[in-house]
A and B are shown apart, each in its own frame.
Chain A
Amino acid sequence: MGRRRASQLLAGYRQFLLGRPTPSSHEQSISGSYWKLNTWRPCCMFRVSVGTPQASNYLNLGKTYAIKQRSFGSAATDIPRNPAFSNLNADDISYFRTILGERNVVEDEDRLSAANVDWMRKYQGSSKLLLLPKSSQEVSKILHHCNSRKLAVVPQGGNTGLVGGSVPVHDEVIINLASMDKIVSLDKINGILVCEGGCILENLSSFLENEGFIMPLDLGAKGSCQIGGNISTNAGGLRFVRYGSLHGTILGLEVVLANGTILDMLGTLRKDNTGYDLKHLFIGSEGSLGIVTKVSILTPPKLMSMNLAFLACKDFTSCQKLLLEAKRALGGVLSAFEFMDSHSMDLVLSHLDGVRSPLPSSLYNFYILVETTGSDETYDKTKLEAFLLRSMEEGLILDGVVAQDINQSSSFWRIREGISEASVKVGAVYKYDLSLPIDQFYGIVEEMRNRLGEAAKVVGYGHLGDGNLHLNIMTTRYDSDILAQIEPYVYEWTSKHKGSISAEHGLGLMKANKIHYSKSPETVQLMVDIKKMLDPNLILNPYKVLPQSCFN
């Protein structure tokens, strides 16, 4: 099932599971039974991580972990609410009602509880208000008011982020762009698409495919994520190796600043060297510098022939060599190069329905997915098969299959795209998204496996073509002891090997104080200066991205 449908169902289940959220859940002690056992319902899709001693006895889990105050696990330490922020009052709410209308000012507990929790159910806020603006003017009025009243806000899109950047930490007002989902225009000759920030990626892809174009990015969350969110987080995804970063494909943005100013940088020109190119500040700023309300993006033409191969390699060195060979042999037609280890394959096969391995899974250590996209099917297929057979003769590949039709291609992709979904079903997942030099790539996975032993399942997979590793560590529940084993070791290891602690997921809340592992103090200081200049009251997505200490 698509992520969108899954999120909708999850929202429904959440109302059973979470009950009625209390205002300061972070400070509430467990003995008050925040998790009431009689409201716990077994979820048919997602296994619940329940953190009370009663629950763990119920589930016969034997060893009970020491329960901390926080019922949701997270890497962030307890963050006090910034006293400079005002509290929402009735006047604010009636003002929002006059600008947005009754229906788009949401105080309903059930809808709020869904908007307050992230996709991994790792972070939970306590916002009392969800706003659904329908236009940039409405966003501008909301922000202007919040800025003058010093009300903190969280811009929210599809809420599929993996670092807690899309949900409130305390009672920030949630501004969700879901109602701004219109496609404004498509230049059919150049493939330049202009649309609003709340458009869902999959909808944009379907629309474009009808017109002979595709989106330059594709990710597992496409059924739920919004393009505004993709831009604010500079999403990478599966097509990155072919089409590059959003910094290259975004031609223009319309952004609303903290004080309500609508910054119109919505150019549709490929080249425009007039002054400083400010849109790059907002791409990847994770909603902390402005809210992206309109997007102008260059979409590549849809190419007819797609070929996909699912390969097995003996060790990681072969995977590296294969990547080099692929880039040489397949040149311009290579459109994806993904890798996953045998543990990821086992995870997917055991937790997802209707998935079968194309190759006997117990025999191989690593799997590679190679995709080519070009305009001539026979030519590309011949090129791909020649490359694969050569690699097999050289011993780089142990075995492999080539998809013969679209159904087979979809089922190969399902395996790779399903790892994230499957990882959530184990219970609790700690996700790390690292950029590492190619020869160090798999080292961290083996290190963590040694470190954690039986306590956790460790899988590694990712965009090998971009040097981006996704490290997932799964346990039955979020636990601070396990967390202490993982962090800061992972960050220090990455920093030591000159990698990035966040290749594509961003810093969000999870890594808000960790930027120094990858950026110099002077760089961080300039970022802080820019933030203070664009958002002096610090109302946009507070407590995230940059270290708290910089603002005291």
Chain B
Amino acid sequence: MKVMVAVKRVVDYAVKIRVKPDKSGVETSNVKMSMNPFCEIALEEALRIREAGAAAEVVAVSVGPAQCVDTLRTALAMGADRAVHVDAGAAPVLPLSVAKILKALVQVEQPGLLILGKQAIDDDCNQTGQMIAGLLRWPQGTFASKVVLDKEKQVATMEREVDGGIETLSLDLPAVITTDLRLNQPRYATLPNIMKAKSKVIKKVTPAELNVELKPDLEVVQVAEPPKRKAGVIVSSVDELIHKLKNEARIL
């Protein structure tokens, strides 16, 4: 069985982001980019599934500009067997377009399991996994905090973190799983694996070759920083406090 993992190249989690002066987006030039942390967790889970013997191959996929290849190299260095880069040009690709592309890829690669991160840290959409499950009409298990695969029965049992606690689901394969933080701790890219990764293949395709039309259905109008918190004020008496609550905060 093949496991497909979708990974996204985003601004590194530890970087202090800044909004571009023209408010069209976040500053991404000259800023460190890395694999989305939830995608790392997804990839780690796929690798563990393969190591447990429930899958034969792990394929990493990324949709984006040419530099995505760096992220795919990281995926290969962690242990993925192959990678596919869908070159969608420099413009940001929204979740529905990514879902359509992944659907086309799934129909080509025929994986038994598609694992993604629950959301990307740059847009926090939390949509791609759910959308592609809908498009493929596959069962979905989102916010996975534990995944156990049963190869013979072709069933995935997973625990998901919901507001009320932990919910356990059983999914018939093929299925879509999106990963949450507590699922695992991703491995580091070791030198032997980096060495092996050099001979691994990164296939490049375009959305046109997959018969997917990228039509942006959303337009980003403005990106702005949240308003700066005003400093607190120390009042000198209860009367002053009441005066401020009445007249400035207007809550009395």
Q: Do B190 and A406 touch across chains, with their CB atoms under 8 A apart?
A: no
A401 at the interface (CB under 8 A from B): yes
Pair A401/B191 contact, Cβ less than 8 Å: yes
Q: Is A267 an interface residue (CB 8 A)?
A: no
For the complex formed, measure the closest distance between the CB of B216 and the CB atoms of chain A, giving whole angstroms. 28
In the complex, the chain B residue whose C-beta lies closest to that of A212 is B30
Please name all residues of chain B whose beta carbon is closer than 8 Å to the beta carbon of A405 when the two chains form the complex. Answer: 12-14, 32, 34-35
Q: For window 29-45 of chain B, which residues contact chain A by CB distance below 8 Å?
A: 30, 32, 34-35, 37
A411 and chain B: residue at smallest CB distance:
B188
Q: A406-B13, A406-B14 are in contact. Are A399 and B192 (CB under 8 A)?
A: yes
B125 contacts chain A at the CB level, 8 A cutoff: no
In angstroms, Cα B12 to Cα A403, docked, is 12
Inter-subunit contact A400/B191 (CB<8 Å):
yes
Contacts of B30 in A (CB 8 A): 304
**Which residues of B are found within 8 Å of A407, using beta-carbon distances?**
13-14, 37
Is B74 in the interface zone, CB < 8 Å from A? yes
CB B199 to nearest CB in A, in angstroms, measures 12
Q: Give the docked Cα–Cα distance between A404 and B191 (Å).
A: 12
- A208–B45 alpha-carbon span in the complex (Å): 40
Partner among A305, A310, A402, A408 whose Cβ is within 8 Å of the Cβ of B194: A402
Q: Does A378 contact B (CB under 8 A)?
A: yes
Once bound together, how far apart are the Cα atoms of A401 and B188, in whole Å? Answer: 6
In the complex the two chains form, is B194's CB within 8 Å of A385's CB? yes
Q: Which of A389, A401, A404 has the most CB of B within 10 A?
A: A404
Q: How close is A449's CB to chain B, nearest CB, in angstroms? A: 30
Cα distance A366–B35 in the bound complex, in angstroms: 30
What are the residues of chain B within 8 A of A53 when measuring CB–CB?
A: none
| A397-437 contact mask (Cβ, 8 Å, vs B): 1 or 0 | 10111111111101000000000000000000000000000
State whether the Cβ of B245 lies closer than 8 Å to any Cβ in chain A.
no
Q: Count B interface residues, CB 8 Å.
A: 21
Instruction: Check B190–A400 contact: CB distance below 8 A.
Output: yes
> Is A301 an interface position by the 8 A CB rule?
no
B70 at the interface (CB under 8 A from A): yes
User: How many angstroms between the C-alpha atoms of A310 and B77 in the bound complex?
Assistant: 15
Tell me if B52 counts as interface (CB < 8 A to partner A): no
Residues of chain B with a CB closer than 8 A to A377's CB: 32
Closest Cβ of chain B to A281, distance in Å, is 40
**CB neighbours of A311 from chain B (8 A):** 191
> Once the chains are docked, how many angstroms separate the CA of A377 from the CA of B78?
19
Query: Could you tell me the distance between the alpha carbons of A405 and B11 in the complex, rounded to whole angstroms?
Result: 10
Instruction: Select one of A385, A400, A404 contacting B34, CB under 8 A.
Output: A404
- B189 close to A (CB within 8 Å): yes
- Give complex CA distance A359, B30 in Å: 31
Could you say which of B30, B37, B77, B191 has the most chain A C-beta atoms within 10 Å of its C-beta?
Answer: B191
Quote the shortest CB–CB distance from B16 to chain A (angstroms). 9
Q: How far is the CA of A406 from the CA of B16 in the complex (A)?
A: 12
Q: Is there a chain B Cβ closer than 8 Å to A55's Cβ?
A: no
Q: Which residues of the other chain, A, contact B185 by a CB distance below 8 angstroms?
A: 356
Given known pairs A385-B194, A406-B12, A407-B14, the reply for A401 and B34 (CB within 8 Å) is no
| A297-313 CB contacts (< 8 Å) to partner B | 304-306, 310-311
| A405 CA to B189 CA, complexed, in Å | 11
Q: In the complex where A389-B194, A392-B195 touch, is A404 in contact with B189 (Cβ < 8 A)?
A: yes
B249 at the interface (CB under 8 A from A): no
Q: CB distance A406 to B15 under 8 Å? A: yes
B:8-66 near A, CB below 8 Å: 12-15, 30, 32, 34-35, 37
Asked whether, in the complex, the Cβ of A403 is within 8 Å of the Cβ of B70, the reply is no
Residues of B within 8 A of A (CB): 12-15, 30, 32, 34-35, 37, 70, 74, 77-78, 185, 188-192, 194-195
25 pairs from A and B in contact (CB 8 Å cutoff): A304-B30, A304-B32, A305-B32, A310-B188, A378-B70, A388-B194, A389-B194, A389-B195, A392-B192, A392-B195, A397-B191, A399-B191, A400-B190, A402-B77, A402-B191, A402-B194, A404-B74, A405-B14, A405-B35, A406-B12, A406-B14, A406-B15, A406-B32, A407-B13, A407-B14
Write the residues of chain A forming the contact surface with B, with a CB cutoff of 8 angstroms: 304-306, 310-311, 356, 358-359, 377-378, 385, 388-389, 392, 397, 399-408, 410
Interface pairs A-B: 4 shortest CB-CB: A406-B14, A405-B34, A401-B188, A400-B191
Known: A389-B191, A402-B189. 8 other contacts (CB 8 A): A306-B32, A356-B185, A388-B191, A388-B194, A399-B191, A404-B74, A405-B14, A405-B32
